[in-house]
Amino acid sequence: MKRDFQPSDLARGGSYRLLTATVLPRPIAWVSSRSAKGVDNLAPHSFFTVASGEPPIVQFVSVGRKDTLNNVEATGEFVVNFTAEPLFEQINDSSTDYPATLSEFDELGIEREPSRFVAPPRVAAAPVAIECTLHSTQEMGDSTLVFGNVVDFALDPGVLADDSSDRPHPLVEQLRPLARLGKNEWTTLGTVLDEPRKKYADLNPSS
């Protein structure tokens, strides 16, 4: 029999710990932004997903008020950089609480490359960068949801299955994604299962 825990009975932070240890693995938005004073910020956010496919909109959550949120609200632009396994140390180190006057790019020696449509730079070594303009924000509890209109997908040709320009497909084994678990735990790509979705008639042949 399962054991029940009501959020109202838990100590402060208890619900957060349970959520981050059970909603997993979680993809990571490594968000680059630029402050109104021109300082480039870079920070990982593990509450991240797709909000809409058409039009393409992504979302990440700022738990509390962070530099990323301040910058995005001030300038209306950001970039989601893909968190690939070889970049683990830099990704983890960029979660440190650097002062807003310092750039994680500079402090950690992370190479920038210019974005095509927005001011915040991309991470040069990231195999994918998703350039966004701010769609909207939504305050919810102690957090703020940030929605971004995707204005450009920048992909390293080495991760693409083919050169098709209208329906490109990146290979997951080339991307080597990192994801977050609970506490201080991270994970890398395990076994990939490739199974097409079945139709109702396939599951119920006699109906």
Encode pLDDT of 56-99 as tens digits. 999 999 999 999 999 999 999 999 999 999 999 999 999 999 99
Domains of the chain: 23-195 (2.30.110.10)
In the structure encoding, which two tokens stand for residue 83, read together? 């968190």
pTM over 0.75: yes
pLDDT band for position 163 (cuts 50, 70, 90): low
**Higher model confidence: residue 207 or residue 131?**
131
**Mean pLDDT for the chain overall:** 96
pLDDT value of residue 165: 78
